[in-house]
Every structure is written in C-alpha cells, then in structure tokens.
Structure 1
C-alpha cells in the first residue's frame, strides 16, 4: 500500500511539473500570438496544475489519523481543496468571458502560426499527462478524477488547434474569442456541481436516502421497537456517518451489543454507512419524530 501511494505521488509530481511547463509555454505563446483562446487554455492548465498539487497535498493530509484536535480525522482537507479550486475556476471563467466579449467588439491581430504550434505542444503534453495517470485511475478515485479532467483539457487544446488552423488558413480571427467563451463556459459548468457538492458536505448535509426505509429495516431487527432522532451526514464524498436513538426492549448490555452489530451490518451493506452511533433507550422519545424536531417543524 505504501509503495502504491509512493508511485501515485511520483505520477502526481510528474503530471504537475508537465502541466506547469506547458502552462508557461501557453502563456508566452498566447501573449506573443495575441490568442485569447490560447491564454484561456493556459489558465485552464494553470488551474489544473494547482488542482493536482493541492489535491495531492490534501490527499496526504487526509490520511492523517484522528487526534484530539480533529476527532473525525482530516478527510475534509480534500473537500476544502476541491471547493477552493472550483471557485477559482468560476472567477477565471468570468474574466475570460468578459475579455472575449471585448475582443469580439474590438478584434485584434492574431499570429495563427504561433498559436497553432503552441496548441499542438499543449495537446501532446495533456495526452502524456493523461497517459501517466491512466493505470492508476483504475484503482484510485482521486487519480481517476484527475485523469478524466486531463482528458477534457486535451479536448480544449484540440479546440484551440482548430481555431489556429482557421486563423492560419482563412484569417477568421473571430473564432479565437468564440472558442474562449466555449472553453470558459465549459469550465464553469464543470465547476458548479463540485461547488454545490462540497458546500453540502461542509454544511453537514445528508446524502439522498430513504429514511422511512431505514427505519423499516431497523425495526425488522429483533429487539428494536422504534427508531427516532436520526442524523445522517457526510464527512467527505465517500464516508457517511449515522446516529440515531433506538428504542429496545429491556435487556442486558451484552444483548444490546448484539443488536448494535446487526444495525451496523444493515446500514453498511444496504446504505453504505461507515460509522454508526446508537443511543439505546427503553421508552424515552418513543413518540417523537424520525428526524429531530420533525413534529415542531410540521406545526410551524
């Protein structure tokens, strides 16, 4: 496992350096050629470089064990990194669209040959980066997400290549800001779901679940007479936490532990819940709602 993590780290480092290099090349290429599409692709690659680096370091932080400062561990380091990266991409997309609209109103001279050469090199670099992570993407979700993102970067580079060819052959400079707007909108569309999901997690939002079905399944366990005050929330995109008050018939603590294990197995197998906290009760709260303050909310 440690060897696999080390290999993943080496690949992440290689991809980060490769993306940083091509970003610098595209920035200079965009400035010298006057191509906004090339600069937008450079910004996209720059965002990817930071995303890969931040994602890797966040992954390393998330591997730390729970301690007295973070009793749930450090898994949300990756969520914070994802939120930061996605928000930065939205801001960048807005600036790119504003600049592209200005270019449409006031066209500028573009050196299509420089734009084309740099775009081809960028596409090759993105393909190489994707190839470096391809094998790891089969067994690592973090690498898989990065791999798929790099494939989208490759498509963006091919869009710039098409723009460079049109400018080189037909001198259609208008295609440059149009491609920029398409790339910027694509980045924004790709970033927004990430922002929504990360905010939901940070707000301790619950994944979509059928709580009545959960209650029905738990009531099938011998010894359980009622379930109320359910709380479900996500620590990160993979770990779901669950707590509930469970009414049981009067029994020994050793007998209650058997029921605890059965509850944990049902919740893990059927609902993917990884951590369960149960407060056992006899009759207390038996008439209360499934969700805390559910009756009070209904009255209001």
Structure 2
C-alpha cells in the first residue's frame, strides 16, 4: 500500500510538472512566435491528459466483475489509450497544417525566448523522468509513462537546437520545419497505440502459435483432437481462450483433471489467463480448428490437427 501511495504521489507530481511545462511553453510560444514551441507544448498537454486519463481509467479498471460487466471494467484503460492517441493525431495534423502555412508566410521568431522556454521544458521533463525512474522497473504503467516522458525530453532537445540557431541566425523556415518534425514524431508514437487498441476492441486474435497450442493439447493424455478455437484480449495483458476438445469417453471425475492440465499448460507456456473448455467425445471431430460459418467440415489435415 505504501508503494502504491508513493507511485500515486509521483504521478501527481509529474502531472503538475507537465501542466507547468505546457503553460510556460504556450506563453513562450505565443510571445516568441515559435510554432515548434507550441507543438512541444501540445505534446506535453497530451502527456498531462494521458496521465490523468490513465490514472482514472486504472481506478475504474480495478472495479470487480458484475452481472452487467462479467469481465469487469478492464477495457477502460484501452478506451483511455485510444482517446489519448487520437487526440495526439489530431494535434499533429493541426500542427503540420499550421507549419505549412508558416512556410508560405514566414514570421520573425524570437530565438532567445524560444531557447529559454525550451530549456525549462527539458529540465522539467528530466525531473519528471527521475521521479518515475525507480518505479519503472516493476510497474508497466509507470514504465510506459517514464519512457514517454523521456521522449518528451528528446523532442525538447530539437526545439533547443532550433532556439540556439535562431538566436544567432534568422532562418525563417527552421521553426516550421522543426514543428513538422515534432508533429510527425508525435504521430509516429500515437499510431501504434491506436492500432493496438483497435485490435483489442475488435477482439482480434492475439499473436499466438495456434498450431503449437493444438499439438500441445493433443499431447495430453485423454485428448484426441482440438477444434473450434477462439482467442481474444480483454486488455493488452489478459488473453481469453476457449476451445472444444475431443476426449476419451470418460466420466466427469476423470475429465476434470484434464481441464486442470489444459489450464496450467496454456497459462504457463502461452500466458493465457482465462480458459473455457468444452469436452466432447465424437461431436465436432470433423470440424476445423477455427470454426467458419457455413463450412464446418474440412479444411485439410493441417487445420483439423488430427492425431
């Protein structure tokens, strides 16, 4: 409980720092005329939003299962990640459009103010990273935020370099070019998150070796065949699996130990956390591994996994 409290305090401190960075960079960007600084500000705003939304979602996802939510509320974190990543994409598109306009109609940039504010943002991001560093080794949520904060520090470095150059040389195209680079980097970070969240929400099959699973299950004593497999993910960590097994004609008291072996095998070797098995004697023995509506008969020996 003490570790959770400490993590919560550090997340709160990191959130405050990100809000502070955002405010300072927005003010500095408006005063200096630097679009790159404003893009970095929106990046940090996205981080603040992500931390707050992620914390709220983690609290909701910890609620127990109910008759209305039999798998609980774990996908609250997936929805939060989708909303946050989509927000970052929208911001990136907006920044690129504004940067292109700025390339066509260049404005004077105050390099000194841009440099000063970028340095403040860089230092604040480093402090945030240090606050989360100790918890990044044993907590995936903290680790993800820690790595994101480090990436913010790297984007601040680009703005610092731009501020240094603009302090001594008036290069009108440099600021919008940096803005486009930061925006593309933000989108690059956000796109895989969107793809992964959509994959989970669409209940796409996780990346498992299903042929190996079928072989391992059939190697268990009493299991003759495997068919009608389904697998999906509740969130990025929890895999749900169901299958029909053709077993020897045994009493239920002898089938139950087979269930235990199946659950242990799938959990220990494939990281599957929830397993539902339907035992059958001959029913479905001519079906394929993955049930296709309208074609339950034959997909070839590789698909049916007969012994």
Q: Tell me which interval the TM-score lies in, with the shorter structure as reference length.
A: over 0.9
Residue 143, structure 1, aligned to residue 142, structure 2: yes
Matches within 5 A, 1:4-153: 4-153=3-152
Report the counterpart of residue 157 of structure 1 in structure 2: 156
Q: TM-score w.r.t. structure 2 length?
A: 0.95
User: Hey, what's the Cα distance between the residues in 2 that align with 1:192 and 1:218?
Assistant: 36
- The gaps in structure 2 that reach 5 residues or longer are 300-307
Residue 259, structure 1, aligned to residue 258, structure 2: yes
Residue 236, structure 1, aligned to residue 235, structure 2: yes
User: Hey, what's the Cα distance between the residues in 2 that align with 1:170 and 1:110?
Assistant: 10
Report the counterpart of residue 268 of structure 2 in structure 1: 269
User: Hey, what's the Cα distance between the residues in 2 that align with 1:124 and 1:164?
Assistant: 15
**Tell me, what secondary structure is at the counterpart of 1:19?**
helix
User: Hey, what's the Cα distance between the residues in 2 that align with 1:126 and 1:295?
Assistant: 56
User: Hey, what's the Cα distance between the residues in 2 that align with 1:44 and 1:12?
Assistant: 17
Residue 180, structure 1, aligned to residue 217, structure 2: no
Confirm or deny: 8 A CA contact 1:47 1:89 kept in the other structure.
Answer: yes
Give, in angstroms, the shift of residue 147 of structure 1: 0.4
Cα deviations across residues 149-178 of structure 1 (Å, max 9, x unaligned)?
A: 100100111111110110001122321111
Cα deviations across residues 224-274 of structure 1 (Å, max 9, x unaligned)?
A: 111110001001000101001111111121211100010011111111111
**Tell me, what secondary structure is at the counterpart of 2:290?**
coil
**Tell me, what secondary structure is at the counterpart of 1:135?**
helix
Give, in angstroms, the shift of residue 295 of structure 1: 7.2
**Tell me, what secondary structure is at the counterpart of 1:296?**
coil
User: Hey, what's the Cα distance between the residues in 1 that align with 2:167 and 2:211?
Assistant: 63
Computed over aligned residues only, the root mean square deviation of the Cα atoms, in angstroms, reads 1.3
Give, in angstroms, the shift of residue 113 of structure 1: 1.1
Q: TM-score w.r.t. structure 1 length?
A: 0.97
User: Hey, what's the Cα distance between the residues in 1 that align with 2:5 and 2:66?
Assistant: 24
Give, in angstroms, the shift of residue 45 of structure 1: 0.3
Give, in angstroms, the shift of residue 179 of structure 1: 0.6
User: Hey, what's the Cα distance between the residues in 2 that align with 1:141 and 1:251?
Assistant: 44
Cα deviations across residues 44-78 of structure 1 (Å, max 9, x unaligned)?
A: 00000000111111111111111112111111111
Pick which of 176-185 and 54-63 moved more.
54-63
User: Hey, what's the Cα distance between the residues in 2 that align with 1:193 and 1:50?
Assistant: 18
User: Hey, what's the Cα distance between the residues in 1 that align with 2:75 and 2:37?
Assistant: 34
